[in-house]
Amino acid sequence: MPFGYICRTQRYKMPELNEISEQLKRITDSSLFSRSPVNTSLLSLLVNATIEGTKLKEASIGSAIFGKSYDPVKNDTKVRVYIHNLRKKLAEYYVGEGHNDPIIFEIEKGQYSVHFIPAAQKSGISGTRKKQWLLFGLASIATICLYFTLIHKQKPSPVWQSVLDNKFPISVLIGDHFMIDGPIPLNGPGLIRAFSINSESDFAQYIRQHPESASQLSPNPYTYVTKMGPYCTKTLGDFFQQYHLPFQLKLNSEWDRSKISEENIIYVGQYKTMGFLLNIFRENNPRFRISGGTVEVTGADNRDTTRFYSATGKETTDYTLVSKIKGPNRNTILLFVSDNDIGVINVLNYFTNADSLACFNKKNHIEDFPFTALFKVSGWERTGYQMKLERIEVQNSGQ
């Protein structure tokens, strides 16, 4: 029996294949679809796969429709977006041009198969029958959700395993920037952000070197976060919700460093806002050096050094470090850090996507070991970012 018919066998008489083909042609020839080649190709692919009994996956759909421009490793959302839009277009079609069509094409949420429903029979379902199917559907969904929740709890991705094991509370630290009160060009006082001054100690050193500024400048109690803050908070919130785990959200400047051995710590932010965590990174990564927006990596022979420069412009290049470190009490410190926002945002999306993580772990044999990876994130005018792994060091269990 064709795959697409399974869920409908007890409800409807199956349309003939020629009737399904005719209905597909009616839809794709309509004014709503004829001007949308991607939606036309996508619907044809799903209908034909359903008839043939082929169970499509997101990656195979993306490759068939978008070709080389689709990359599942980069958390490419094209397929999900277009399926969502296709579902809406079908609903719009059946309200308008297709309101008298004999067969209704229906794509349920979370599925890539098409249900072929005779219009006359769909409208004839009794209220009792609808209620039975609704209750059955809700029970099925609840069972599936419970199953996947248990699976996720039992088998988290190796990268996150020690963070999610409940041995320590989780603190998410958002990198925030140091601010200074002082004169600005727009007449009178204002807030100043100096890239070379990232803490009160930096400010004190500046005043020692420039005592003439002491009467004009002073630290401001407020800090600020860039767009990385809300984006990454949303990403991590959605991620931890899968595991029903609470976490504390803090600004890095307000974090109590005495908690370094009492928490699993996740830091997201720029190099310049790492504060105390920069020392932790350096102690555990002697071959990596951060200087401004530059990352230097020394080879295993301690002789050759490669420098990676972040640059901002129409085409932005941002080198992003992900470092998983064992804390002093065998707690976990996980750092996502770059010079600009785009690196942290894109790499965090990658590391909270199950498919991306599975690919990353398979290629690099991360398991639950400490590691440090350097990614190049680049894009043109802040769109279409691409990601490439440049360097990785993994500490195996014997280290």
| Mean pLDDT calculated for residue range 226-241 | 92
CA distances from 262 to 156, 248, 279, 324 (A): 22, 13, 18, 16
Which residues are CB-neighbours of 136 under 8 A, at least 6 positions away? none
Per residue in 68-116, pLDDT (tens digit) is 777 765 656 778 888 888 988 898 899 888 889 999 999 988 888 898 8
pLDDT of residue 74: 60
Burial class (CB in 10 A: 0-12, 13-18, 19+), 93: buried
Dist. CA 237–CA 227, nearest whole Å: 16
Grade residue 123 by pLDDT with cuts at 50, 70 and 90: low
pLDDT of residue 9: 40
pLDDT of residue 148: 55
Dist. CA 254–CA 258, nearest whole Å: 12
Percent of the chain with pLDDT over 90: 33
Grade residue 126 by pLDDT with cuts at 50, 70 and 90: very low
| Mean pLDDT calculated for residue range 258-268 | 93
Higher per-residue confidence, 5 vs 198: 198
Give, in degrees to the nearest 5, the angle at Cα 396 between 393 and 399. 100
Read off the tokens for 145.
């959700």
pLDDT of residue 180: 86
Higher per-residue confidence, 392 vs 128: 392
Location of structure tokens 């005592």: 211
Grade residue 398 by pLDDT with cuts at 50, 70 and 90: very low
Q: Which domains does the chain have, with CATH numbers?
A: 3-124 (1.10.10), 170-176+225-394 (3.30.379.10), 180-219 (no CATH)
Collapse the DSSP code of 226 into the 3-class scheme (helix H, G, I; strand E, B; otherwise coil) and give the result.
coil
pLDDT of residue 67: 77
| Mean pLDDT calculated for residue range 29-45 | 89
- Cβ atoms of 66 and 78 within 8 Å: the answer is yes
CA distances from 190 to 136, 182, 210, 217 (A): 62, 6, 19, 10
Location of structure tokens 């409940």: 166
Please compute Rg for the chain using Cα positions: 27
pTM of the model: 0.60
pLDDT of residue 281: 94
Per residue in 276-328, pLDDT (tens digit) is 999 999 999 999 998 878 999 998 777 789 999 988 877 889 999 999 999 99
Per residue in 137-191, pLDDT (tens digit) is 666 666 666 555 554 444 667 889 889 887 899 999 999 998 888 888 877 888 8
Q: Which contiguous run of DSSP H or E holds residue 231?
A: helix 228-241
Q: How confident is the prediction for the chain on average, in pLDDT?
A: 83
Location of structure tokens 């690919």: 359
DSSP characters for 109-157? TT--S-EEEEHHHHTT--HHHHHHHHHHHHHHHHHHHHHHHHHHHHS--
Kindly tell me if the per-residue pLDDT of 51 is higher than 70. Answer: yes
Location of structure tokens 């996508």: 42
pLDDT of residue 344: 93
pLDDT of residue 399: 41
Kindly tell me if the per-residue pLDDT of 202 is higher than 90. Answer: no
pLDDT of residue 397: 46
pLDDT of residue 7: 42
